Structure 1
C-alpha cells in the first residue's frame, strides 16, 4: 500500500502542477472557458460570469498549490480531501459537457493540449481512481522535510503561484501556445497542407425495394435501386483535419479585407474586442503609438466587435486617426489576452505582440 500511495502521490501531484501551471500561464483564457460553462445554455449560472476571472485565478492557484502540498506532504488530510472534492467537481463538469455536447474543449490543459470533453472525462476518471487510493492510504503520506521546511515551501509555492498569475495578467502569457504567437504566419495557419486528413463518413441507408425493407452502408452514394428511401443515418469514421485558424477575418461593414491587410509588410493591429470595456489607460496610449507608427510607414488598423456608433465615438474621444474593422470576438480574445492589445505583422507573420501595459516596449 505504501508503494501504491507513493506512485499515486507523485502522479497526481505532478499532473495537478502541470495542469494548473498551464492554466495559470493564461488565467484570462481559462476565465473565458469558465464563462462558457456559466452560460445559460450550459450550467445556466450567468450571475457568475462577471466573476469568472477571479474564480479562474483562485482555481488554478489552488490546483498548483495542491500539487505542491501533495508532493511535499504538507497537511495530508486537508490536501487529499481538497483533491477529492475538486476532482469530483471536475468529473461532473466534464461528464455534463461531454454527454450534453455543451463545451467542445474543457480547457483542462489550456491551449497547450486541447482535449475533447470525453477525453477530459476519461482523464478525470483516471485521476479520481488515483486520488481515491490517496484518500484510503492518507496515513502513508508523510512530509519529506521538517515541519518548518515543509511550511516554508508550501508558503513560497503559494506566493510564487499567485505572483506568476498576477504577472501574466498585467502583461501576456509567458508561454504562448496559440496559433497567433510570435513567429507564426496567419495565412499558413489558415490553410491545410496537402497531406491533411479528410473526413470519412459512413452512410446507412434504409430503403424499400420490391416491397422489402433493406439497408446498405456506403460513403454517400445511396442504393443503386430502390422504391423509396425511408431514411439515412451517418457515422463519422474519421474526423477531418482543421486549420489551426478557422475564423480570423478583417472586415469592413461591406467588404472582407483579410487578404489585403495580411499582404502588408508593416501592419500594426490594435485589438480591442469590446471598445466599451477596453482599459482607459490602454486606450490613452494608442494615439501616440498610432501617430509614431504612421510616420514610420506602418499601416495601422483597429480590430473589434463593437458597432459603428461605438467605433466612431471612441475615435472621437481619443482622437484616433485609424479605422476599426470587424472580427469575431472569440478570435480577438485569442489573438492577444489584453483589451486593448497590439500586434505587429509582416506579410501575415506575427513579429511583435504586447499588452497595453507594455506598449512602450514595441520596436517600430
Structure 2
C-alpha cells in the first residue's frame, strides 16, 4: 500500500505539473476558454448573467492564477510539502474541473475544455473520465497522506511559483514559446485545409429491428438509414474555418498567393493602439515591393475604417472570423507572414519586426 501511495502521488503530481505548464505556455488560450465558459453560464443561468459577464474582463488573471496553481500544487505534492493543505486544495480544484468537463460533455457546450491547452485535444467525455480518475486518486492520497514524509522547506514550491508566473508573463507579453496551433510557423495552410487522406465512412443501417454496418451504402432499399460515421477521423482537415472576405466577395485563396504580410487586428478592448505606429512604418517599408501588406480584422466595416484612417494604415483590409484570428495570433494587433500559403513568421506587437527582419524569414 505504501508503494502504491507513492506511485499515485508522483502520477497525480506529474499530471498537474504537465497540464499547468502546457497551459502556462499559452495563458491567452486558457483565457479564451474561460471566456467561453463565462458566456455559456451567463446564457444558461440568466439570473446570474451580469455576474458571469462581469468576470470576462478578468479571465486572463484567472487563467494565470489557475494554471500556475496546477504547477505549484503538483510540485508541492511531489515533495510532500504541507501535504494536508495541498491535498485538500487539489481536491477542490479537481472537483471544479470535473464539474466543468461534465457540463461540457453533458450539455455539449464548450466541446474542448482546454485541459492540456492546444497540445492535446480531448473529447468532452474523455476529459470528464480523466477528471473522475484524478478525483479518485486524490481522495486516495488524502486517505494515505500519513504515509508520506514531508519536506521541511518549501523552496522548490517557491521556485515553481516564480517560474510559473514568469512563463505566463513571457507568453502574454510576447508569444507562446511553443506554438501548438495549426497556424504556426512552418505549416502550410492550404494543405491543412484538406484531408490528409481520402475520408472513409461507414453507414449504420437498420432492418427488421437489427442494426448493421456497411462500408458502402447498401443497394437494398429495405434498409433504413440511421447515421454515417467517419472511420479515419485523424485524416480530417486540421483547419476548417479559415475564410477571408471583403465587400466584393471571397478572398481566401488570394492570401495564399505570393508573399503576404498580414496584420491581425481583432475586435475587442485589448487592441494595443500604441503599437500601430510601428506597424504603420512596417507596412510603408514594403510599398512597391513583392511583399503585399494587408489587414485581417474581425471589426465592423465602420470600426476598421476608423482605425486605418486614424493611424494612417495604408493597406487593404479584409474580414475573418474572430475565433480564427484569436487562433492565428494571441496578440492584438499581431503580424503574420505567409509565403505561398506557408507560415514563415509570427510576431507579437511587442516584437514587431522591421523590413529586414521580415525579409530574413522569406
1:288 aligned residue (272, 276, 281): 281
Match of 1:209 in 2: none
- Classify 1:43/1:139 alpha carbon distance in 2 versus 1 (closer, same or farther; 3 Å): farther
> In the alignment, which of 256, 260, 263 is matched to residue 257 of structure 2?
263
Change (3 A) 1:215 1:154: closer
What's the offset of the Cα at 1:136?
0.3
Distance 2:232 2:38 in 1: 29
Describe the shift of the 1:51–1:202 C-alpha distance in structure 2 as closer, same or farther (beyond 3 A): same
Aligned twin of 1:68: 75
Within 1, Cα distance between the matches of 2:275 and 2:264?
11
Query: What is the CA-CA distance between 1:353 and the residue it aligns to?
Result: 0.5
Determine the structure 2 residue equivalent to 1:17: 17
Shift of 1:261: 2.2
Alignment length (residue pairs): 347
Please say if residues 76 and 142 of structure 1, whose CA atoms lie closer than 8 Å, have aligned partners that are also in contact: no
Structure 2 residue 96 is matched with structure 1 residue 96: no
Aligned in 2, Cα 1:99/1:225: closer, same or farther, shift over 3 Å?
A: closer
| Structure 1 residue 292, shift from structure 2 partner | 1.1
Find the aligned partners of 1:294 and 1:116 in 2 and give their Cα distance. Answer: 46
- In structure 2, the gaps of 5 or more residues are 46-51
Question: Contact 1:172/1:338 (CA < 8 Å) preserved in 2?
Answer: yes
Which residue of the partner structure matches residue 221 of structure 2? 224
Contact 1:275 1:310 in 2 (8 A): no
Alpha-carbon separation, structure 2, partners of 1:216 and 1:55: 48
Match of 2:32 in 1: 32
Identify the range of structure 1 (87-96 vs 33-42) with the bigger mean alpha-carbon deviation.
Answer: 33-42
RMSD: 2.2
Task: Give SS of 2:204's match.
Answer: strand
Give distance in 2, aligned partners of 1:72 and 1:8: 13
Instruction: Quote the offset at 1:126 in angstroms.
Output: 1.3
In the alignment, what sits opposite 2:358? 363
The two structures have a TM-score, normalised by structure 2, of: 0.89
CA shift at 1:204, angstroms?
A: 3.3
Residues 256-280 of structure 1, C-alpha deviation per residue, up to 9 Å, x if partnerless?
111122011x210001121664111
Equivalent position SS for 2:194: coil
**1:185 counterpart (182, 188, 195):** 188
Determine whether 1:164 maps to 2:167: yes
Displacement of 1:298 in angstroms is 1.2
For residues 242 and 282 of structure 1, the distance between their equivalents in structure 2, rounded to whole angstroms, comes to 38
Distance 1:125 1:77, change over 3 A: same
Counterpart of 2:286 in 1: which secondary structure?
Answer: helix
Q: Distance in 1 between matches of 2:226 and 2:255?
A: 43
What is the Cα deviation at residue 239 of structure 1?
6.5
Aligned CA distance change for structure 1 residues 187 and 157 (closer, same or farther; 3 Å)? same
Deviations 1:113-149 (CA, angstroms, capped at 9, x unpaired):
00000110111111112111101011122235xx2xx
Identify the residue that residue 125 of structure 1 maps to in structure 2. Answer: 132
